A = this chain, B = another copy of it.
Amino acid sequence: MAEKSFRVAVVGATGAVGNLMIQVLEERSFPVGELKLLASARSIGKSLPYKGRMLPVEELTEKSFRGVQLALFSAGSGVSRKFAPIAAEAGCVVVDNSSAFRMDPRIPLVVPEVNAHALGDHPTIIANPNCSTIQMVVALKPIQDAVGIRRIVVTTFQAVSGTGKRAIEELRRQVADLSEGREVTREVYPHQIAFNCFPHIGAFLDNGFTEEEMKMVNETRKIFEDPEIQVCATTVRVPVYFGHSESVNIETRAPISAERVREILSGAPGVIVVDDPGQHRYPVPLQAAGTDDTLVGRIRMDPSVENGLAMWVVADNIRKGAASNAVQIAEILAARNLI
């Protein structure tokens, strides 16, 4: 079994997350037999490094998935909606990073540390949750299991890399423009992001929340298989390159102490407790960047409500929040002979 390897495709290979998927496949030694890099026609001619070789980027077409066993998609919802079913039809198992299928009741929405069981016996398309949801559910699942969670109030501090390469470039350019006295230009965001922040991620819906905020509500319920859990999110873009931070207040169903939460989380998969504030130790995005862990700190009782707890949760949004979570799903698929 150890020698088994897979024909893998990465769709959206030239994007920030797609690129990182290739790197994470290599870093985590996923058993790749053959690697196919797929992107839109305008990326033809590019090549990307994998294990010391440069692999050419091929154009994504309806024939791209012949003979491919596993495809990691990160090319936006439109591409996923069109091509994931084609890939699945060709016998390929798809792990999709877009929001296209996340709320489809037939599609498992999976964070390996939280609900790997949801993969079932014969998954074809598996949805990777939204970045902000992933790190929150990794941190909260052990508490949900221990005492139940009634309500979550979360405010996010989201890095520009979540928007993609052009947003990373926009922050860099605005910082340079300001330092050199040029007028700041905007292409990606509705407001200057350098030295600013704004509570606007995804489109606004009729209820006053954004798409991103409602993803945190609906995906948390689906992943926890708990339609009763109440979530209110405010999602905010901040001038950070990598790493989302979350201020999380919860109300548990039964009492639990901050000390006990710290103990439970210290033994939880994918979680690192960084919680010695007197020594200035708490999670910060610069520290989480480049890792696959979810860092949790500032764990304290919230005395403003019965069974209240507050904490601060940080993870690399394009690793654990996207690429690494997708590869970790693939690892389970491989281990369970589901590809």
Contacts and interface: CB of A to CB of B under 8 A. Distances in A.
Interface in A145-163: 151-153, 155, 157
Interface stretch (A81-89, A135-143, A195-203, A316-324): A195-203
Interface string A246-286: 01010000000010000000000000000001101010111
Contact of A238 (B157, B209, B280, B286): B157
Nearest to A312: B199
Contacts of A304: 151-153, 230-232
B241 A278 contact: no
**Of listed A155, A192, A200, A277, residue having the most chain B CB within 10 A:** A155
A3 to B, nearest CB: 43
Contacts of A234: 155, 247, 249, 298, 310, 312
A305 interface: yes
A29 interface: no
A16 to B, nearest CB: 16
Interface in A210-259: 210, 230-232, 234, 236, 238-241, 245, 247, 249, 258
B208 A300 contact: yes
